[in-house]
A and B are shown apart, each in its own frame.
Chain A
Amino acid sequence: MESDFPILSALIVTPALGALVVMAMPARRPECVRLAGYVFSFAVLALAGWLLFHYEAGSGYQFVEREQWLGDLGVQYKVGVDGISLFMVALNALLFPIALFASANITERTKSFFAWMLALEAALMGVFLSLDLIVFFVFFEFVLVPMYFLILGWGHGRRTYAALKFFIFTMAGSAFLLVGVLVLAFLHSDHTGKLTFDLATLTAWAPEGLDPGAAKALFLGFFAAFAVKVPLFPLHTWLPDAHTEAPTAGSVILAGMLLKMGVYGFLRFSLPLFPQAAVDLAPLLLVLATIGIIYGAIVAAMQPNVKRIVAYSSVAHMGFAVLGIFALTTQGLDGGVFTMISHGLTTSALFLLLGMLYDRRHSYEVDAYRGLWKVMPVLGGLFCVAAFASIGLPGFSGFIGEFLALIGTFIVEKPYAVVGAIGVVFAAVYLLWVFQRTFMGRPTGENAKMKDIGFRELACVVPLLALSLFLGIWPKPVLDVIEPDVKEVIQQVERGSDYREPAPAFEDAPSGHDDGGHE
């Protein structure tokens, strides 16, 4: 293997090239389009596999590539990967072939569908690999376009409304991000006379160079963009609509990757650039995350539409990720990143399974289904596994992530951890209800005639659940890669603020004899 092979650029360019190739193909030959889509997405998966294999844990950004782009404007093309982005890239590379593979029911305008999907994959790769703020912003924005057209072109019922709402929310958030990026760079150039958007340069300067008020304002600007994407309460209302109306592949990518952009943004940009502001405003995020955990779970419990239930459950799950990250402890950040990976696997699996039900009966209403386990034992079994994986049953990845996030939160803010633990229980409520009402009981009418899962469908779902199980049983390899870079983030925060990571123990334990120590 050549060490100077531009692997990261290849990860971005390959799907983009795929999109162009697909576009150049004749629309009359959907089978060729499909083949090209599979080939390119699997090629990306292979590249990501190579990257995973050759990545060395604990040595900062790797495979960094750097090219001057718009030199006068200080914009450069700079990409790199560390332990946090590595798994986002891997998840992205995994989910796209699966999502394409699960889209056999897309028969209208197949070509555009595949082109948009590959373009989306390229944009998402760019988001997770960019180390220049402008390039990041461009990719971050570009993600919206394919997603908008995917919902609009191949969605269900109220897709126009959902697509537009999705666009309004995210665009509004991004506007603040752009302004934030520009202001940050201009302030930097005022001080140093050098206009740059390089993340490393700005990270080295911003914590000292910005005055506290400006840092806080900029943090809030970035916050607006990322919080919408997560989504944090109360900016979450676009998510249920977008999920409900999106086609299956769209939902998989939306839940699996798009939501991660927000949490990733907090980790990669907000914390290192504005450490003091992050520390000062962390209570706000912890409160919003905790509200999201409980609120998402409760609202999910009353939804008649299965996709909305899973959508609201995402609000709760991502609440855990944000809770862990803004606890600002190693365990919390580990847990947050792990929850992102885990949520990508389990929620995608749930959406794929729901898509299979929709393919057969064209309904997402809970009441339309009953007793499906009788006629589809394998699909029922897999749904049961996916539900328990999503609930965070020990043995699945969700448990590790949520438990670590809770431990990390408990170190600094005990009440939030307690409320979060209650949320863990709530999570079981709605998914088990869904499972009971759709899969248990006696099937009647059309439900009695449904076909069990096919080979292609099995091939989509099983890898995700198997990975979730594997990471639940043996999380060490992933945690060992994440942790050095998580520690680096915390050190950046410590360097730039008065915050010091507390040890995982009660403040005055075990030697103190006075009561207290428990809030």
Chain B
Amino acid sequence: MLDYAWIIPALPAVSFFVIMFFGKRAPKHGAEIGIAAVGASFLLSCVAVVEWINRVEDATGGESHGLVALGKSIFAAGGAEHGVAPVVHTLTWWTSGGTEFGVGTTVDGLTVMMMFVVTLISLLVQIYSTAYMHDDRRYTWFFACLSLFTASMLTLVVSENLLQLLVGWELVGLCSFMLIGHWWEDRANSRAAIKAFLTTRVGDIGLMIGVIIMFFAAGTFSIVGINEYALGGEAQHSLLMFGALCLFIGIIGKSGQFPLHTWLPDAMAGPTPVSALIHAATMVVAGVYLGARVYPVLYEGFNIHDGGANFMAIIGGVTILIGALLAFVQRDIKRVLAYSTISQLGYMVMALGVGAWTAAVFHLFTHAFFKALLFLGAGSVSHSGSHHSFDMKSDMGGLRKHMPVTFATFMIGSLALAGIFPLAGFWSKDEILATAGESGFDAFVVVGLIGAVLTAAYMTRCVYLTFFGEYRGHGHPHESPRAITVPLIILSVFSVLAGFANAVPLGIHKFTEWFEPTFAFPHLVHAEFDYSLAIISVAIALVGIGIAASLWFRKEELGPFAGLTKRNALAGRGYTFLENKYYLDFLYENVIVDGIRGGVARAYYWFDQNVIDAVVKGVGRGAARAGRFAYDALDQRVVDGSINAIAAGTGEAGGAVRTVQSGRVQRYALLLFASVGVMALAVFLANVD
């Protein structure tokens, strides 16, 4: 399967076309086609994972000399240390100026891991959607879009080169646009869709330039080639720095990093399965994936090995905190989860920034399961518990009695997210903190711990408002159907067990062993398990839960803090600041966008109308006056007569000519004379020269 990885994205791509053209006539309106295709992709991905693991174990067991990468021999012979080379296949897509633009597959540990995650969650989400979207007005179209998304995401994942990755990157953005705006009858939804597309595209400027810079620097778009170039020691550091910076801007846009994170909460306007698949588990981590893919460029470009604070780690750290803080002031359960996603993506980016590659990818892996679980749980609540509302304060509460499966799985997801031992989030978050500490990034360990306490607290608030207290809604809450609960159960199993793939104190390093690249990759620090740090982080999460629980679970609601925002001016201002999302949306929409549309565009248009055209008109009038004399000297009848003669001769075609009033013909003639005048002037000038 490693050699035929192209089949995995091809299946859902075919399914997209089949659903689009034949889906409506299918017995299940296209859902079965999508599920079958992505199911097959999932099985093939599992085969690929197993084959990759065998390949790694063979290599580490025996000798790795036999393993030579297929495809173009762009690998410096013996340049990099021996490792398990990725399986590369390339075809020429097109050529220009001697440059070959290829398309192909690179399969290594990172790829197979990501393919597994993408196909598994796509499959579960599609099954879930058969119930959740049951009566939707565009049910078939929805499944077609999901298939297209899975195909695009997998294209991005298996990319052989950065150009192909850019193609996949834009296509997942397109699917995100279509799916956020799925219910486009409401203006808010279509606005959110456009906001998401355009905001991520701002980051795409960086990505596009970054890709071009790396192409010129390394002389190839090939990911392996670029990584080898970055580590080869011959690279100019300034180029790597600019390249890394530009690529990182792309990551900021796609992976919801500060300050381009504002689109992600609005993207919750899409159907909940879409939020789970695209805006939690897969598409938004495309940025992190890109960072992991071209890590040598970022590693060298940002000088991560020096152990100093760098741009990437700082942005990640800031994102952890701003996301987590905003999660506190939301009424909408999906928005809580969206800000939580932003914050968790911050962890991944920060991990990449502090050299904890494996921890970042491991967190990507575990986060995909528990965050998809939480979103699908929220969807289950709105589907069967709160009458299609996501407002925790007005339509939820007390649902644990009515929806036991949803409640139990949501609790598992929340605890995993909060990083409670021994659930998945504990292992991956802990590995990020331990590696950061080991590499000397102490400040970021502190940021991570603050993030952990905030995460535990806002999830406690969220769980309380949704499942505890009195039911505040108006419907008849009941448990969701099996198509919804089964994916929840499967995901909760992964949320419990996924962390053990790299349970360091138990002597399990499988995740590192299998999935960390050993070919064209920097030497990374691997932290030993730090018991004290682990205990601190769990304790701190429990403190967060405790504080939040004491605030919300007690009858007197907020206890001593009740009305704090009203009594204390500073707290009030802080709350308003959060309510307004740090005024970033105001800055982007009211200041920048409206400024360009209202001010700059109007000014430019005024320039068009009143300066350029005025010059044209002025010249025209001047020429007309100058030509008047010459024109008067001419026999007008000659002009008119000839025109009429042509008109008569050409029958109806002349009708058009005849409709040209004679005044206009005169102007036309004037124009000819004006042109002749200009020509004469030009000839004169040319002769002077």
Chain A positions within 8 Å of B, measured between CB atoms, are 23-24, 27, 109, 111-112, 115-116, 149, 152-153, 160, 164-165, 167-169, 171-172, 174-176, 178-180, 182-183, 213-214, 217-218, 221, 234, 237, 240, 295, 298-299, 301-303, 329-331, 334-335, 371, 373-374, 388, 393-395, 399-400, 403-404, 406-408, 410-411, 417-418, 421-422, 424-425, 428-429, 432-433, 436, 439-442, 474-476, 479-480, 483, 504-506, 508-518
- Tell me whether A394 and B171 are in contact in the complex, defined as CB-CB below 8 angstroms, given that A112-B656, A149-B657, A428-B198 are known contacts: yes
Contact A221 B95 (CB under 8 A): no
Question: What is the bound-complex CA distance between A370 and B228, given in angstroms?
Answer: 53
Is there contact, CB below 8 Å, between B601 and A302? yes
Q: In the bound complex, do residue B656 and residue A221 qualify as a contact, i.e. CB atoms below 8 Å apart?
A: no
B506 contacts partner chain A, Cβ-Cβ < 8 Å: no
Q: Which residues of A contact B678 (CB under 8 A)?
A: 172, 175-176
Interfacial chain B residues near A418, Cβ < 8 Å: 209
- The residue from A178, A374, A425, A474 contacting B202, defined by CB atoms under 8 A apart: A425
Q: Report if B531 contacts A (CB, 8 A).
A: no
Once bound together, how far apart are the Cα atoms of A112 and B672, in whole Å? 24
Say whether, besides A217-B685, A510-B229, A440 and B184 are in contact (CB < 8 Å).
yes
Chain B contact residues: helix, strand, loop or mixed: helix
Q: Quick check: A512 and B94 within 8 Å, CB to CB?
A: no
Contact with A along B222-244 (1 / 0, CB 8 A): 00000001001011111100100
Contacts of A371 in B (CB 8 A): 185
Of the candidates B99, B197, B656, the one having the most CB atoms from chain A within 10 angstroms of its own CB is B656
Q: Which B residues between 645 and 659 are near A, CB-CB below 8 angstroms?
A: 650-653, 655-657, 659
Known pairs A394-B166, A439-B184 / 15 extra A-B pairs, C-beta < 8 Å: A111-B653, A176-B679, A301-B601, A334-B96, A334-B97, A371-B185, A393-B171, A394-B171, A408-B97, A418-B209, A421-B209, A425-B201, A428-B197, A433-B194, A509-B217
Q: How far is the CB of A514 from chain B (nearest CB, A)?
A: 8
In the complex, are the beta carbons of A299 and B608 less than 8 A apart? yes
Chain B residues within 8 Å of chain A by Cβ, number: 86
8 Å CB contact of B185 from A167, A295, A374: A374
Q: Given A509-B236, A510-B217, are A23 and B653 neighbors across the interface (CB < 8 Å)?
A: yes
Instruction: Check B94 against A441 for contact (C-beta < 8 Å).
Output: no
Closest residue on chain A to residue B173 by CB atoms: A393
- Residues of A near B493 (CB, < 8 A) are none
Q: Select which of A116, A301, A410 is within 8 A of B216 by beta carbon.
A: A410
| Interchain nearest-CB distance for A179 vs B (Å) | 4
Q: Which of B170, B174, B667 contacts A164 (CB 8 A)?
A: B667
Contact A109 B652 (CB under 8 A): yes
Knowing A406-B208, A417-B212, say if A298 contacts B604 (CB, 8 Å).
Answer: yes
Say how far B271's CB is from chain A's closest CB, in angstroms. Answer: 16
Q: Does B653 lie within 8 Å of A174, measured CB to CB?
A: no
Shortest A189–chain B CB gap in Å is 15
What is the bound-complex CA distance between A331 and B620, given in angstroms? 40
Question: Which of A175, A400, A436, A515 is in CB contact (< 8 Å) with B237?
Answer: A515
B630 contacts the other chain (Cβ, under 8 Å)?
Answer: no
A510 and B601 alpha carbons, distance in the complex (Å) = 42
Among B215, B237, B602, B616, point to the contact of A237 (Cβ < 8 A): B616
The answer to whether A440 and B190 touch (CB under 8 A), given A395-B167, A425-B204, is yes
> Do A301 and B596 touch across chains, with their CB atoms under 8 A apart?
yes
Given A433-B194, A440-B184, the answer on whether A175 and B96 have CB atoms closer than 8 Å is no
Contact assessment for B95 and A476 in the assembled complex, using a CB-CB cutoff below 8 Å:
yes
Residues in B whose Cβ lies below 8 Å from that of A153: 656, 659
Q: Is there contact, CB below 8 Å, between A237 and B612?
A: yes
Are the C-beta atoms of A152 and B656 separated by less than 8 Å? yes
Known: A299-B604, A440-B185. A510 touches B219 (CB 8 A): yes
Q: Please tell me if the beta carbons of B675 and A441 are within 8 angstroms of each other in the complex.
A: no
Task: Provide the residues of chain B in CB contact with A395, threshold 8 Å.
Answer: 167, 170-171
Rounded to whole Å, the gap between the CB of B450 and the closest CB of chain A is 35
Q: In the complex, are the beta carbons of B605 and A299 less than 8 A apart? A: yes
CA distance A515 to B239 in the complex (A): 8
Known: A179-B682, A298-B601, A330-B98. A510 touches B660 (CB 8 A): no
Asked if B569 is at the interface of the complex by the 8 Å CB criterion, the answer is no
Q: Are B97 and A329 in contact (CB under 8 A)?
A: yes
By a CB distance below 8 angstroms, the chain A residues around B652 are: 23, 27, 109, 111-112
Given contacts A174-B675, A516-B238, contact A330 B96 (CB under 8 A): yes
Known: A172-B678, A217-B685, A441-B190. A479 touches B94 (CB 8 A): yes
Please determine whether A517 and B97 come into contact, CB atoms closer than 8 angstroms.
no
User: How long is the Cα–Cα vector from A301 to B242 in the complex, in angstroms?
Assistant: 31
Q: Is B634 at the interface (CB under 8 A from chain A)?
A: no
Min CB gap A196→B, angstroms: 19
Contact of B651 among A27, A400, A504, A518 (CB under 8 A): A27
Nearest chain B CB to A246's CB is how many angstroms away?
14
B residues 666-689 near A (Cβ < 8 Å) are: 667-668, 671-672, 674-676, 678-679, 682-683, 685-686, 689
Give the Cβ gap from B537 to chain A, nearest Cβ, in Å: 40
A166 vs chain B, min Cβ distance (A): 11
Nearest Cβ on chain B to A326's Cβ, whole angstroms: 16
The distance in angstroms between the C-alpha atoms of A474 and B602, with both chains bound, is 40
How far, in whole Å, are A440 and B182 apart by their CA atoms in the complex?
10
Q: How distant is the Cα of A429 from the Cα of B653 in the complex, in angstroms? A: 43
Give a binary string over B79-93; 1 marks a CB under 8 Å from any A CB, 0 the rest: 000000000000011
B151-202 with Cβ < 8 A to chain A = 163, 166-167, 170-171, 174, 181, 184-187, 190-191, 193-194, 197-198, 201-202
Instruction: Give bound CA distance, A399 to B167, whole Å.
Output: 9
Which residues of the partner chain B approach A424 to less than 8 Å between Cβ atoms? 204-205, 208
Minimum CB distance partner of B20 in chain A: A381
Contacts of B667 in A (CB 8 A): 164
Q: A168 contacts B671, CB within 8 Å?
A: yes
Assess the A504–B656 pair: CB atoms within 8 A. no
* Interface status of B597 (Cβ within 8 A of chain A): yes
Q: A174-B675, A400-B94, A421-B208 are in contact. Are A179 and B656 (CB under 8 A)?
A: no
Question: Which of A169, A180, A483, A508 contacts B96 (CB under 8 A)?
Answer: A483
Q: Of B93, B184, B202, B619, which one neighbours A373 at CB under 8 angstroms?
A: B184
- Are the C-beta atoms of A116 and B656 separated by less than 8 Å? yes
Complex alpha-carbon distance, A111 and B650, angstroms: 11
Residue B655 contacts which of A109, A165, A373, A515 (CB distance < 8 angstroms)? A109
The residues of A that contact B660 with a CB separation of less than 8 Å are 149, 152
Compute how far the CA of A387 lies from the CA of B484 in the bound complex, rounded to whole angstroms: 36
**Contact assessment for B686 and A302 in the assembled complex, using a CB-CB cutoff below 8 Å:** no
Chosen A-B contacts, 23 in total, with CB atoms closer than 8 Å, are A23-B650, A23-B651, A23-B652, A116-B653, A152-B660, A172-B619, A172-B678, A174-B675, A175-B682, A176-B682, A295-B604, A298-B600, A334-B96, A404-B96, A417-B209, A418-B209, A425-B202, A425-B205, A504-B99, A504-B219, A508-B236, A509-B217, A510-B236
Contact in complex: B653, A504 (CB < 8 Å): no
Min CB distance, A101 to chain B, in Å? 21
Chain B residues near A217: list those with CB within 8 A: 685-686, 689
Cross-chain contact A515 with B238 (CB below 8 angstroms):
yes
Q: List, in ascending order, chain B residues with CB within 8 A of A441's CB.
A: 184-187, 190
Q: Give the docked Cα–Cα distance between A160 and B659 (Å).
A: 11
Q: Known interface pairs A112-B652, A175-B682. Does A429 touch B198 (Cβ–Cβ under 8 Å)?
A: yes
CB neighbours of A399 from chain B (8 A): 167, 170
Contacts of A480 in B (CB 8 A): 95
Whether B239 pairs with A175 at a CB distance below 8 angstroms is no
CB of B561 to closest CB in A, whole Å: 42
- Residues of the B chain whose Cβ atoms lie less than 8 Å from the Cβ of A410: 212, 216
A171 to B601 Cα, complex, angstroms: 29
Q: Is the CB of B167 within 8 A of A167?
A: no
Asked if residues B239 and A509 are in contact (CB atoms below 8 Å), the reply is: yes
- List, in ascending order, chain B residues with CB within 8 A of A335's CB: 96
| Residue pair B236, A517 in contact (C-beta under 8 Å) | yes
Residues of A within 8 A of B235 (CB): 509-510
Q: Contact partner of B201 among A152, A182, A406, A428, CB < 8 A?
A: A428
Distance between A318 CB and nearest chain B CB, rounded to angstroms: 16
User: Is B56 an interface position by the 8 A CB rule?
Assistant: no
